Amino acid sequence: MSAPLTLALRELGGEGPPLVVLHGLLGSSRNWQSAGVALAERGYRVLAPDLRNHGSSPWGEDCGYQALAGDVIALLEKLALGPVHLMGHSMGGKTAMRLVLDRPDLVSRLTIVDIAPRTYSDRVRVEFAAMNALDLTAIKTRKDADALLTPLVADWGMRQFILTNLGQDAEGRWRWTVNRAALTAAIPEILGNPIGPDETWSGPTRFIRGGKSGYVRDEDLPMIRAHFPQVDFVTLPESGHNPHFDAKGGFVDAVCG
């Protein structure tokens, strides 16, 4: 496993027990600003790191879950908060699963958002192909980038999500703020299962799933229970894969309940 990287950390407010939030693939701590403030208002101190190769955190060639979890372990050890409520969405959820199995002493409660401990089909290849095909030298404004992405990614919401990873350097040149090359190479590993067949964690666990998502299927539930015997499930019927956006009120209730 690679040496841990020092992650950028965003404090989203609150003074209660610590809730550490891990974002998904191509996301960042910024995606959790609104939900994080709502969770802080419900009594948590909400902290959201940028995972390696995302946001303002350093880049590293190793994008595996052992490395992702190792970075967060190093952060939690440095913060010395005691056991935390750990929540992860999508790729961040798989990272949280790996972490709690490696270092159960660091976690008091686990919340996994719309992901299961299994291998997924290659459903993100289109987005990465579009990012890799975008000629950054042809872009003068974010509107230019949106126009160039439109033939490659028809869905407006997905284009806007991709474009959150586009920024300008000190000279005003457009660049990707994620480590596009390393993440592209690691897609099979990112889509894979982060935990072994016999690994279990018996602490309090909740899986929150979007009713319109399909990422956590009914047939996944027995397997999840085998890994996390104290699990319960909350389904938000009107939500897709991003319940912290799609159904924020119900999502906050599910996290705090």
The CATH number covering residue 111 comes to: 3.40.50.1820
Q: Are 247 and 238 in contact (CB under 8 A)?
A: yes
pTM score above 0.85: yes
Q: Are residues 51 and 168 in the same domain?
A: no
Q: Are residues 199 and 113 part of one domain?
A: yes
In a domain, 25, yes or no: yes
Residue 201 shares a structural domain with residue 93: yes
Question: Are 95 and 174 in the same domain?
Answer: no
* Residue 154 structural domain: 125-185
Please give the distance of CA 204 from its chain centroid, rounded to a whole number. Answer: 20
Half-sphere exposure of 6 (CA within 13 A, CB side): 2
Residue 228 pLDDT exceeds 80: yes
Encoding tokens for residue 92?
């961040």
Q: Is the pLDDT of residue 220 over 90?
A: yes
Phi, psi of 24 (to 5 degrees): -95, -175
Q: Could you write out the DSSP letters of every residue in 55-116?
A: TTSPP-S--SHHHHHHHHHHHHHHHT--SEEEEEETHHHHHHHHHHHH-GGGEEEEEEES--
Same domain? For 84 and 208 the reply is: yes
Of 185, 202, 232, the residue at which a domain comes to its end is 185
Residue 2: which pLDDT band, with cuts at 50, 70 and 90? Answer: confident
Q: What is the DSSP letter of 51?
A: P
Dist CA 257 CA 241 (whole Å)? 20
Average pLDDT for 218-227: 98
What confidence category does residue 1 fall into, taking pLDDT thresholds of 50, 70 and 90?
low
**Are residues 24 and 103 located together in one domain of the fold?**
yes
The residue that leads in pLDDT, 257 or 224, is 224
In a domain, 1, yes or no: no
Checking if the pLDDT of 128 tops 90, the result is no
Residue by residue, DSSP assigns 107-132 as EEEEEEES--SS---STTHHHHHHHH
Tokens of residue 88, six digits: 């992860």
Same domain, 162 and 231: no
How do residues 61-118 score in pLDDT, each as one tens digit?
999 999 999 999 999 999 999 999 999 999 999 999 999 999 999 999 999 999 999 9
Max alpha carbon distance in the chain (Å)? 53
Q: What is the pLDDT of residues 197-215, one digit of tens each?
A: 999 999 999 999 999 999 9
Pick from 166, 185, 204: which residue ends a domain? 185
pLDDT at 107: 98
Kindly state whether residues 131 and 177 are assigned to the same domain. yes
